Structure 1
Amino acid sequence: MSDPDTDKYRQQHKLRLSYMPWLYARLKPAQRHWAQAWQDEWQAYLMTMETISIGKNCFIAPEARLFAEPGRAIVIGDDSYIAADSVLHGPITLGNGVSINHHVSLDGGRKGIVIGDNTRIAAYSYAYAFNHGMEMTHLIKDQPVNSKGIRIGCDVWIGANTGIVDGVEIGDHAVVGMGSLVTKSVARFSKVAGNPARIIGSRNTEPNLLSSTHDVE
């Protein structure tokens, strides 16, 4: 028979992990044993029910909502975390070491959202890779929908309550300040903030210490 106190503790600890999933990697061996069994079961269910692939050592909160119909896959790299009350609708590709915090909303539209390795997206942020037409020839509900896709680079920090619109690319090592609305692409290493987001600084003080890809116009 299980210890009632242990059962209560585990339920509370599961909830804590769901909202603070970075704690999953810090669990002691005894805790990791039951937590990994819990996650293995939940992730197997997700991969059975949706078009989802999940890498090694990932944590996905059962309170998160992941939807991936055929042709709109969600791909999750190793060591990535998805916290409670997030909503992800594919196509979405997460690199390795990506952290999606609670109440984040991502919709890949037709062209998809791609997020690079070791990027952090803070709570209540959202990115929608589609847009509606606005011509007066049709009601808004009948307008055609278009999609360009969104790309977020490696080692990017998206601050809480940030919005990212369709067609935007955020370069490697960039930082987006809390409460920003990103309507144009952001160059690598840039610090941006505001509505609309504008450059307020740069992380590129020691460029030789960081690898990079291409500049974003």
Structure 2
Amino acid sequence: MTTDPTLKYREQHKQRLSYMPWLYWTLKPKQRAWAHAWQQEWQAYLQDMETVVITGDCFISPDAKLFAERGRPITIDSGSFIGADAVLHGPINIGKNVGINHHVTMDGGSQGITIGNNCRIAAYCHFYAFNHGTAPERTIDKQPVNSKGITLEDDIWLGAHVGIVDGVKIHSGAVVGMQSVVTRDVAKNTVVAGNPARFIKNRT
């Protein structure tokens, strides 16, 4: 029994798109037809099974994990993509033309994660919009959990392996260098890097 080479190629191309999802918008019409149908079917499943709302033309890898129970929705606006092995737990609000690459982890806690338009989040970034107490009179498993939320405004670039802690707001136009841990707000149009992330320069 021989395998149809067209179907074999298509399965490989699905893997390529899952890890390099920006390529979805560069597909030629013939490939775009099957890829669009594949995405429509997958996105319909997500919206049926979870509290996920997808607007417009988006790409979501079937290897990404989206968990959005009632009261913890995930909304995704047009032109955005989510790569393979990303894990997103709502509440999360994703704007237009946002790139979330493979192996990104986001947990919205109770107050949520908000990402503005035209942001790029590189592979292996981590967002945790909650924190545990550390009072010595309680064991770690009995500590209270609190949440302030995380906000990214528009036009932000996070390098690979960036960590964002609860309560942080990153203002428009900021860039965060690879391997940084952001523990405080980042000013507009600045570049920060390090652990904890510190001011490097102004983009302007």
TM-score, L = length of structure 2:
0.98
- Equivalent residue number for residue 101 of structure 2: 101
Q: 1:187 Cα deviation (Å)?
A: 0.4
Give the aligned partner of residue 176 of structure 1: 176
Match of 2:45 in 1: 45
1:121, 1:21 → 2: CA distance? 13
- 1:195 maps onto 2:195 in alignment: yes
* Seq. identity, %: 61
Count of residues in Structure 1 that have an aligned counterpart in Structure 2: 203
- TM-score, normalised by the number of residues in structure 1: 0.92
- 2:140 corresponds to 1:130: no
1:8-31 deviation line (CA, Å, top 9, x unaligned)? 000000000000000000000000
- Which residue of structure 1 lines up, in the alignment, with residue 57 of structure 2? 57
Q: Which residue does 2:25 correspond to in 1?
A: 25
Q: Does 1:161 align with 2:161?
A: yes
In the other structure, the counterpart of 1:85 is 85
Partner secondary structure for residue 123 of structure 1: coil
* 1:40 match: secondary structure: helix
- Secondary structure at 1:7 match in 2: helix
Which residue does the alignment assign to 1:212?
none
Task: Please tell me the root mean square deviation across aligned C-alpha atoms, in Å.
Answer: 1.0
Where has structure 1 moved over 6 Å in runs of 4 or more? Answer: none
Distance 1:113 1:79 in 2: 19
Shift of 1:3: 6.9
Q: Distance in 2 between matches of 1:203 and 1:70?
A: 40
Q: Matched residue of 1:24: which SS?
A: helix
Gaps of 5+ in 1: 205-217
Question: Are 2:51 and 1:70 aligned?
Answer: no
- How far the C-alpha of 1:164 sits from its partner, in A, is 0.4
Q: Deviations over 1:11-61 (max 9, x none)?
A: 000000000000000000000000000000000000000000001110000
Change over 3 Å in CA distance of 1:3–1:31 after alignment to 2: farther
**Whole-angstrom distance in 2 between the partners of 1:152 and 1:105:** 15
Task: State the AA in 2 paired with 1:8.
Answer: K
Structure 2 unaligned regions, length at least 5: none
What's the counterpart of residue 139 of structure 1? 139
What is the Cα deviation at residue 202 of structure 1?
A: 1.1
